[in-house]
């Protein structure tokens, strides 16, 4: 896997900047296991502006991403859901249902 060209990165950043209408979403955490691709995500988010995109820094794994989500909930005085990120795994594509996709809305 290689990083997308600069034109694609710029397009993604501009799309994130312009997509500000999501009133129920206060943030999200993205899991990107590949360090190079995490760097690309960081660059795209830097151009888009993290505050406007609603996406925090990318994390290498689910436990790290969950830790960010828990901190965000606690900062807002909210109780995080009961979830063990060490036992969670992505369902196989053929078995996946929309309800199994974890969206962390803070």
The answer to whether the predicted template modeling score (pTM) of the entire model surpasses 0.85 is no
Q: Above 50 in pLDDT, residue 106?
A: no
| pLDDT-based confidence at residue 32 (cuts at 50, 70, 90) | confident
What is the overall mean pLDDT for the chain?
Answer: 74
Highest mean pLDDT, choosing among 15-19, 28-32, 92-96: 28-32
Q: Give the 3-state secondary structure of the chain.
A: CCCCCHHHHHHHHHHHHHCCCCCCCCCEEEECCCHHHHHHHHHHHHHHCHHHHCEEEEECCHHHHHHHHHHHHHHCCCCCCCCCCCCCCCCCHHHCCHHHCCCCCC
């Amino acid at each position: 896997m290689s990083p997308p060209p600069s034109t694609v990165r710029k397009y993604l950043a501009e799309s994130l900047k312009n997509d500000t209408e999501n009133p129920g979403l206060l943030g999200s955490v993205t899991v990107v296991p590949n360090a190079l691709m995490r760097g690309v995500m960081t660059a795209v988010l830097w151009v888009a502006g993290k505050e406007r995109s609603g996406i925090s820094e990318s994390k290498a794994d689910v436990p790290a991403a969950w830790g960010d989500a828990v901190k965000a909930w606690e900062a807002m005085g909210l109780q995080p859901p009961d979830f063990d990120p060490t036992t969670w795994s992505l369902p196989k594509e053929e078995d996946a249902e929309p309800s199994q996709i974890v969206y962390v809305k803070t």
